[in-house]
């Protein structure tokens, strides 16, 4: 993972010898389709003209094709954007840098990772998994042969906007070998810690309004009705597909979708800065008396996918009615 800000390393002892273990942290992201920009045909003459196909990353059979995407996949060259609602995934690689013939060995390599978020400044301990399914039950500690790698993956659903810090601690034992018989002549425990900073930002911005629906001649036994309107804006860098927009109602509240929003609709593609409007009608069960103050009604839930199919989701706080005297 190439951190957008410089990472910091905290060695176990200042001024000590270089560590035998090195750490690489790589973010796991989906590849994207390779774009191409065809050049217009030229008419210079004298053999200076280049065919338009020479500028294409994936020349098509149709020489007049100007489609900007190709079937080729490109791996991300940078960290990219991290959005609230998606699952952040990265792999941690502890590499044994001891060469053949060196009079030292390493063992009991252990990796510990935690994520510091705006709401958990002390850090949330992350579960480490092996790269293969059969390794999931393995312990997080092991020996690495010279030139070998201990690899683990971590996943975390981003729920908060703001700065996040991934802290990775690697500990191991370093054993010095005797030059005579090859036996151990000493050893010590060593560790180091690296910090990787990134910012989680919103992909879908939500602006909502709840108004009470006035009904003429409301009969006894009928509850109050409210209209919930929401604007969903794509504030990210790429397109997003809204798969489902639905409400999680408070107990005693029912809802139905109206206008262009709600469940059962077709998926909507939002390009950057596009806005989609949704509307719901909510009804409270009748109560024995009038209730004053703000009344929480429901939470708005949004399920979306990125341009390459990555899943994401967003749940707002409780949307409440205006207070009544």
Average pLDDT of the chain, as a whole number: 80
CATH (domain of 235): 2.60.40.1230
* pLDDT at 180 exceeding the cut of 60: yes
Asked if residue 182 belongs to a domain, the reply is yes
Q: What are the tens digits of pLDDT across the range 290-302?
A: 555 678 899 999 9
Q: Are residues 26 and 138 in the same domain?
A: yes
Q: Are residues 267 and 315 in the same domain?
A: yes
Confidence at 34, pLDDT banded by 50, 70, 90: confident
- Cβ atoms of 258 and 228 closer than 8 Å: no
Q: Are residues 154 and 95 in the same domain?
A: yes
Confidence at 181, pLDDT banded by 50, 70, 90: low
* pLDDT at 46 exceeding the cut of 60: yes
Q: Are residues 121 and 267 in the same domain?
A: no
- For the ranges 49-63, 129-143, 239-253, the lowest mean pLDDT is seen at 129-143
Q: Which of 166, 181, 201 is the last residue of a domain?
A: 201
Pairwise pLDDT comparison (177 vs 6), residue with the higher score: 177
Asked if residue 40 belongs to a domain, the reply is no
Asked if residue 262 belongs to a domain, the reply is yes
Asked if residue 173 belongs to a domain, the reply is yes
Confidence at 131, pLDDT banded by 50, 70, 90: low
Q: Are residues 134 and 21 in the same domain?
A: yes
Asked if residue 273 belongs to a domain, the reply is yes
Percent of the chain with pLDDT over 90: 38
Q: Are residues 222 and 128 in the same domain?
A: no
Q: How many domains does the chain have?
A: 2
Q: What are the tens digits of pLDDT across the range 190-211?
A: 999 999 999 999 999 999 999 9
Cα dihedral sign, 227-245-258-232: positive
CA 286/CA 253 separation, integer angstroms:
10
Give the mean model confidence (pLDDT) for residues 70-92. 86
Asked if residue 48 belongs to a domain, the reply is no
pLDDT at 204: 93
pLDDT at 11: 45
CATH (domain of 13): 2.60.40.150
Give me the domain span that covers residue 110.
8-30+77-201
Q: Are residues 105 and 227 in the same domain?
A: no
Asked if residue 105 belongs to a domain, the reply is yes
Q: Which of 139, 174, 201 is the last residue of a domain?
A: 201
Q: Which of 135, 166, 201 is the last residue of a domain?
A: 201
Q: Are residues 214 and 174 in the same domain?
A: no
Confidence at 13, pLDDT banded by 50, 70, 90: very low
Give the mean model confidence (pLDDT) for residues 124-144. 66
- Cβ atoms of 96 and 145 closer than 8 Å: yes
Cα dihedral sign, 243-248-254-259: negative
Q: Are residues 144 and 20 in the same domain?
A: yes
pLDDT at 221: 60
Q: Are residues 215 and 154 in the same domain?
A: no
Q: Are residues 264 and 293 in the same domain?
A: yes
Asked if residue 54 belongs to a domain, the reply is no
Q: What angle do CA 323, 216, 288 make, to 5 degrees?
A: 50
Tokens of 181: 């018989």
Q: Are residues 195 and 290 in the same domain?
A: no
Give the mean model confidence (pLDDT) for residues 17-30. 88
Give the mean model confidence (pLDDT) for residues 231-249. 91
């Amino acid at each position: 993972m190439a951190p957008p800000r410089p990472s910091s390393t905290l060695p176990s002892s200042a001024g000590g010898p270089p560590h035998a273990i090195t750490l690489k942290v790589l973010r796991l992201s989906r590849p994207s389709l390779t774009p191409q920009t065809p050049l217009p045909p030229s008419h210079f003459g004298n053999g200076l003209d280049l065919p338009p196909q020479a500028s294409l990353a994936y020349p098509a059979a149709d020489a007049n094709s100007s489609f900007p995407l190709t079937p080729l996949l490109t791996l991300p060259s940078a960290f990219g954007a991290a959005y609230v609602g998606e699952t952040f995934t990265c792999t941690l690689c502890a590499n044994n840098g001891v060469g053949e013939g060196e009079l030292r060995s390493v063992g009991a390599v252990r990796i510990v990772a935690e994520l510091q978020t705006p709401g958990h400044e002390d850090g949330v301990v992350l579960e480490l998994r092996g790269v293969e399914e059969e390794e999931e039950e393995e312990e997080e500690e092991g020996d690495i042969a010279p030139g070998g790698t201990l690899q683990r993956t971590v996943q975390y659903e981003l729920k908060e906007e703001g700065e996040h810090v991934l802290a990775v601690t690697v500990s191991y034992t370093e054993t010095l070998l005797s030059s005579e018989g090859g036996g151990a002549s000493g050893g010590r425990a060593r560790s180091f810690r690296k910090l990787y900073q990134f910012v989680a930002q919103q992909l879908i911005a939500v602006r909502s309004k709840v108004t009470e629906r006035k009904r003429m001649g409301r009969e006894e036994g009928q509850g109050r009705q409210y209209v919930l309107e929401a604007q969903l804006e794509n504030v990210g860098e790429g397109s997003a597909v809204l798969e489902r927009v639905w409400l999680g109602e408070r107990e005693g509240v029912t809802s139905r979708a109206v206008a262009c929003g709600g469940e059962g609709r077709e998926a909507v593609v939002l390009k950057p800065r596009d806005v989609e409007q949704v509307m719901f009608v909510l009804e409270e069960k009748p109560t024995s008396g009038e209730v004053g103050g703000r009344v929480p009604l429901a939470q708005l839930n949004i399920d979306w996918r990125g341009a390459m199919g990555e899943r994401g989701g967003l749940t707002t706080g409780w949307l409440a009615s205006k207070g009544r005297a």
